[in-house]
Each structure stands twice: as structure tokens, then as C-alpha cells.
A = this chain, B = another copy of it.
Amino acid sequence: MERYRLLIACPDASGIIGAVASHIGAIGGNILEADQHPDPDERAFYMRIEFDPHDPHKLHDPNQVLGDEWNRIADRYQMTWRLESGAERRRVAILVSKDTHCLADLLWRWSIKELDADIPLVVSNHEAGRSIAESFGVRFEHVPIGNDKAAQERAVMDLLERERIDLVVLARYMRVLSPAFVGAYTDRIINIHHSFLPAFAGATPYRQAFDRGVKLIGATSHYVTEDLDEGPIIAQDTAHVTHRDTVDDLIRKGRDLERVVLARAVRLHLEDKILRAGAKTVVFD
């Protein structure tokens, strides 16, 4: 059966849930899941409703699904909203550099249908991921960096556009994206990076974490904004380490964390369970 997902953000006010839920009922919809989050600090309200449509023939025109009255409700509560149809599978591109653990994991999950999307494209500034991508039947494009970084990024963006990509997953892609790239895919670029307590900057974080003698390592997945590694956090997890763990052990445990945390973030995004809430996310999981 077809499903719709209605995602709403608006100033907090009385009556929103009743107005929305009653309207879904009025158009013959059957609510399958409903989640709300009033944020008293921000005086904001977030809502996600998953429902069966009243008329499966009207799938491709959101205004027809929700009816004319919906616009009046949305205006009254100053809603930012979108309606996603389960009939339209999102198109995902994976960007990767030399470390292929997240790439391999995402493609495997996709192959067993854990991720409800199309993955038509893998792009890399290295050749390392080619055999993995191609073993899953996915097009792999090697776009080396060369002398002209801007040209390389433009080439990547051209590939994304031609494949009509909806979601860009940075699966250990070690290049900084320009503001233009980030702006073209607002809230549609997901990144993964290691996280430590305390935090470490620089090129060899696992080495630094080892030298500092941390007893935990972590991974964070987030939407990419212009502030590198500072976008809204989607998912995080940690694993215990001891003095017996070498730097290689830390890297190995980090791989396991990174692939699970990134896959979780991608799945939640594809199920439309993440709402951007300023610098934060609301994750209805």
C-alpha cells in the first residue's frame, strides 16, 4: 500500500495536532504513525505524520493529496511543510575517498533492501572503491583532484545533477565541500566522522586519541553545513577501548562505529524521520 509522510515545522501554538490530524481524516487518510515535538525553548513545533492516501491515483501532486483546505491550515500556523510519497524512491550518491568500509556497508545494506532508495552512483577522488561499487552493479566515477580543485568539484556536481541525486552521503570523503556545493544540497548531505572525548583536531585523530589514552572512541553523523564537521547531529555512538588497544585497534573499532552510525543516519533520512530544527535535529525514531 502507498504511504505518504507529512513533515511540518512551525511556531508552537494550541490546536496544531487537532487541525492536522482532523484534516488527514477529512481527506480520507488513515494515520499510520504520528510524532510531535514541541520545543518550549524555541517556541517551535515539529510533526511527522505517515498516512495512507485517500486516492492512490493522485500520487504525484501533493496539493491534490492534501486538498485546498490544507493551504489555509498551513498558512494559519505558519508552517514549513513537505509531503513525501513512498512511491518516489530517493536517488542517493555515495562519495568516498580511500577508506571504503562505509561504502561497502551502505551498498550491502542497500542490496538486502535495508535502505529504501536507488543508489545509481559512487564518486571518488581515488580508485579504491571501484571494485566494491561495481560488484554491487553501481556506476563508479573516479574524479581525481588534480591541480584545479574547483574543476574537480564542478565535475562531481555535474555527475550528481545528471543522475538527479536527492541525497549525497559522504562515506569517508576527505575533501572539504565549497559553500556552493553545500548550498545546492541543504539538509541533503550526510557526513560521518570520528569523535573523541576530549576532541582532537588534525590529520591523525586516532593516533592522538591513543596518545591521550582515551577510554572511549566515538563516531558522529551529521548534516553538512558550511561549518565543517559542525552541522546538525543525527546520530552518535561510542565504544570502549583500553590501554591494550593499539592505534590499529582503535581504527578497527572506529570502522565498526562509523559504518553503523552512518547507516543509521542514512536510513533515518530516507524514512523522513529527521527534521532540521535550527542547529539541531529532531529524530522521530
Which residue of chain B is the closest to A42 with respect to CB atoms?
Answer: B211
Is the Cβ of A25 less than 8 Å from the Cβ of B18? yes
Whole-angstrom distance between the Cβ of A122 and the nearest chain B Cβ: 16
> Chain A 6-40 against B: per-residue CB contact (8 Å), 1 yes, 0 no?
00000000110111111111000111111111110
Is the Cβ of B14 less than 8 Å from the Cβ of A25? yes
Is the Cβ of B212 less than 8 Å from the Cβ of A279? yes
- The range of chain A's interface size is 35 or more
Among A64-72, A83-91, A235-243, the one that faces the other chain is: A235-243
Specify which chain B residues have a CB less than 8 angstroms from the CB of A34 in the assembled complex: 17, 34, 36
Specify which chain B residues have a CB less than 8 angstroms from the CB of A238 in the assembled complex: 197, 216, 218, 238
Known A17-B34, A279-B212; contact A285-B244, beta-carbon cutoff 8 A? yes
Specify which chain B residues have a CB less than 8 angstroms from the CB of A232 in the assembled complex: 213
A81 interfacial by beta-carbon distance below 8 Å: no
A266 interfacial by beta-carbon distance below 8 Å: no
Contact of A108 among B39, B104, B237 (CB under 8 A): B104
Within A187-235, which residues are at the interface with B (CB < 8 Å)?
A: 195-199, 211-216, 218, 220, 230, 232-235
Is the Cβ of B233 less than 8 Å from the Cβ of A114? no
Contact of A233 among B21, B29, B32, B215 (CB under 8 A): B215
Which residue of chain B is the closest to A285 with respect to CB atoms?
Answer: B244
A277 interfacial by beta-carbon distance below 8 Å: yes
Whole-angstrom distance between the Cβ of A156 and the nearest chain B Cβ: 25
> Chain A 239-259 against B: per-residue CB contact (8 Å), 1 yes, 0 no?
010111000000010001000
Is the Cβ of A14 less than 8 Å from the Cβ of B30? yes
Known A21-B18, A30-B14; contact A197-B213, beta-carbon cutoff 8 A? no
Specify which chain B residues have a CB less than 8 angstroms from the CB of A280 in the assembled complex: 211-213, 243
Q: Which of A112, A197, A198, A212 has the most C-beta atoms of chain B within 10 angstroms of its own C-beta?
A: A197
Whole-angstrom distance between the Cβ of A124 and the nearest chain B Cβ: 16
Task: Mark A residues whose CB is within 8 Å of B.
Answer: 14-15, 17-25, 29-39, 100-101, 104, 108, 112, 114, 135, 195-199, 211-216, 218, 220, 230, 232-238, 240, 242-244, 252, 256, 260, 277, 279-283, 285
- Report 14 cross-chain contacts, Cβ distance below 8 Å, ordered by A residue: A15-B25, A31-B36, A31-B38, A33-B38, A195-B198, A212-B233, A213-B233, A213-B277, A213-B280, A214-B236, A215-B233, A215-B235, A215-B283, A243-B277
